[in-house]
C-alpha cells in the first residue's frame, strides 16, 4: 500500500466559524442525497457558570468548530474491513476510493471507520465517501471544500508540503476526533485556543450537519 505521494488536509480550527460552506459545496459537487455528507462540521463545547456568594459570576465556557471529511489515512481501517476490495487506496496519490462495481453495500467499512467517512447510498446500495476531488486535482484545482471556505480554514495538498507550510499544525488528536493512532490520518490541525485533546470529557459534541 505504498504511495508515490500522499495527499491530505490541513484544517485551521482557529479560523473556522462553523458556517458549513465547505459541507454544502462538497454536497453540491456530487448532488449527494439528504443524509449523506462527505464533509461535516461539528461543534465541540462545554464549561459552566459559577455564581459566588458575593454576587459575582465566573465561567469557563468554551466552544469551537471542527470540519472533518475523509482523512485518506495511511492505515485505513475501512480498506482492511472491506471484504471485496471495493474500498482501496490509490497508489498514485494515497486517496482512498470506492470501486462501486465491487461494492456490495455491507457497510463493514462504515462500522470500522472512526471518522464516519464511508456512508451508504441507500438507493444505489453502495458505499460513498470523499474522493479528494480527484477530477479537480487533475485540472490543477483544489477540492471544492477548500476553494469555498470563506475563512480559508481548509487546505489540501501533499502532506510533506502541508507540514512545511503549517509548521505550527499538530496531529489531529483534538476533540471530538478520535486518537490518530487508530488509522494514522493524513490530517493536520492548527488548533483553536480552546481545543481539547481527543478523549476529553469536559465538553459535548453537537452535530448539526444533517442536510
The predicted-structure confidence for 188-206, as pLDDT tens digits, reads as follows 999 999 999 999 998 999 8
- For residue 179, the domain's CATH number is 3.30.70.20
Q: Can you tell me the distance from the alpha carbon of 87 to that of 104, in angstroms, rounded to the nearest whole number?
A: 11
Cβ(41)–Cβ(57) below 8 Å: no
Residues 6 or more apart in contact with residue 82 via CB below 8 angstroms:
88, 108, 109
In a domain? residue 48:
yes
- Position 1 scores a pLDDT of 42
Q: Which domain holds residue 155?
A: 7-71+130-205
- Position 151 scores a pLDDT of 98
153 CB burial (10 A radius; 0-12, 13-18, 19+): buried
In a domain? residue 200:
yes
What is the total count of domains within the chain? 1
In a domain? residue 134:
yes
C-alpha atoms less than 13 angstroms from C-alpha of 41 in its C-beta half-sphere: 22
Q: Can you tell me the distance from the alpha carbon of 133 to that of 111, in angstroms, rounded to the nearest whole number?
A: 24
The predicted-structure confidence for 136-151, as pLDDT tens digits, reads as follows 999 999 999 999 999 9
In a domain? residue 180:
yes
In a domain? residue 146:
yes
In a domain? residue 89:
no
The predicted-structure confidence for 122-139, as pLDDT tens digits, reads as follows 999 999 999 999 999 999
Query: pTM value?
Result: 0.91
In a domain? residue 157:
yes
Cβ(119)–Cβ(38) below 8 Å: yes
In a domain? residue 97:
no
Cβ(153)–Cβ(15) below 8 Å: yes
Amino acid at each position: 500500500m505504498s504511495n508515490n505521494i500522499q495527499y491530505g488536509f490541513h484544517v485551521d480550527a482557529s479560523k473556522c466559524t462553523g458556517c458549513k460552506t465547505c459541507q454544502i459545496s462538497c454536497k453540491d459537487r456530487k448532488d449527494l442525497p439528504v443524509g449523506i455528507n462527505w464533509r461535516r462540521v461539528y461543534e465541540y463545547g462545554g464549561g459552566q457558570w459559577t455564581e459566588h456568594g458575593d454576587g459575582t459570576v465566573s465561567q469557563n465556557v468554551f466552544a469551537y468548530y471542527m470540519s472533518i471529511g475523509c482523512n485518506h489515512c495511511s492505515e485505513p481501517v475501512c480498506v482492511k474491513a472491506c471484504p471485496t476490495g471495493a474500498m482501496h487506496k490509490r497508489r498514485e496519490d494515497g486517496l482512498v476510493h470506492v470501486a462501486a462495481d465491487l461494492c456490495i453495500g455491507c457497510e463493514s467499512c462504515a462500522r470500522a471507520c472512526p471518522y464516519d467517512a464511508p456512508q451508504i447510498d441507500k438507493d444505489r446500495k453502495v458505499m460513498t465517501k470523499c474522493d479528494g476531488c480527484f477530477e479537480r486535482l487533475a485540472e490543477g484545482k483544489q477540492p471544492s471544500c477548500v476553494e469555498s471556505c470563506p475563512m480559508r480554514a481548509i487546505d489540501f495538498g501533499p502532506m510533506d508540503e502541508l507540514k512545511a507550510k503549517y509548521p505550527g499544525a499538530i496531529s489531529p488528536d483534538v476533540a471530538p476526533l478520535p486518537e490518530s493512532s487508530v488509522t494514522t490520518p493524513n490530517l493536520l490541525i492548527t488548533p483553536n485556543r480552546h481545543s481539547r485533546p481527543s478523549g476529553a470529557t469536559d465538553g459535548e459534541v453537537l452535530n448539526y450537519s444533517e442536510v
